[in-house]
Amino acid sequence: MNLIAAVDKNWGIGKNNQLLVRIPMDQKFFRETTTGKVVVMGRKTLESFPNGLPLKNRTNIVLTHNPGFRAKGALVVHSLEELREKLSEYDSNDIYVIGGESIYRQLLDECDTAHITKINYAYDADAYFPDLDARPEWRITADSEEQTYFDLEFFFYKYEKVK
């Protein structure tokens, strides 16, 4: 399974259920990487999308503890066990965990690849991605040249879990 996220210097990913910044090149990378695939998210992440609608051209799976939650165009599961059962129907290489913080933390150990856009700036964040640099089992296996968006510098990294 894969993780995909844009993080700041402190591994921040969001504030008040919104992304810290929108970088067109990062959004394009996200779209190209996940289109036609399975995306796994929490309810709050789904609700942060335009009109609270699932992402087009993807299988959207939402994990929530709210038993009454429904989302048109998305599969809704209510436990990690139910999520694992649903995900077993798909090739794990085609599954992307897309947030938020609690979903990343719950599924990190089950993933072996992380696509991280690292932004060279520290935002005021209230949600964080696990710091892969501090985890010896994760290694950077690919990186990009420095990218810029106005005055922001950022890099695309691929982390892989050491077997």
Q: Quick check: 70 and 11 in contact, CB under 8 A? A: no
The CATH number linked to 134 is 3.40.430.10
Total number of domains in the chain: 1
**57-89 pLDDT tens trace:** 999 999 999 999 999 999 999 999 999 999 999
pTM of the model: 0.97
- Tell me the three state secondary structure of residue 54: coil
- Tell me the three state secondary structure of residue 60: strand
Q: Quick check: 119 and 29 in contact, CB under 8 A? A: no
Q: Which residues contact 32 (CB under 8 A, 6 or more apart)?
A: none
Domain limits at 29? 2-161
Which among 38, 130, 30, 51 has a CA at the least distance from the CA of 77?
38
pLDDT for the residue 163 = 80
Q: Quick check: 90 and 59 in contact, CB under 8 A? A: yes
Using the 8-state DSSP alphabet, how is residue 62 labeled?
A: E
Q: Which residues contact 145 (CB under 8 A, 6 or more apart)?
A: 155
Q: How far apart are CA 57 and CA 38, in angstroms?
A: 9
pLDDT for the residue 144 = 97
**103-147 pLDDT tens trace:** 999 999 999 999 999 999 999 999 999 999 999 999 999 999 999
Burial of 150 (0-12, 13-18, 19+ CB in 10 A): exposed
Q: Helix H segments across 49-133?
A: 80-87, 101-107
- Tell me the three state secondary structure of residue 29: helix
| Residue 18 φ then ψ, to 5° | -130, 155
Q: How far apart are CA 81 and CA 32, in angstroms?
A: 29
pLDDT for the residue 141 = 98
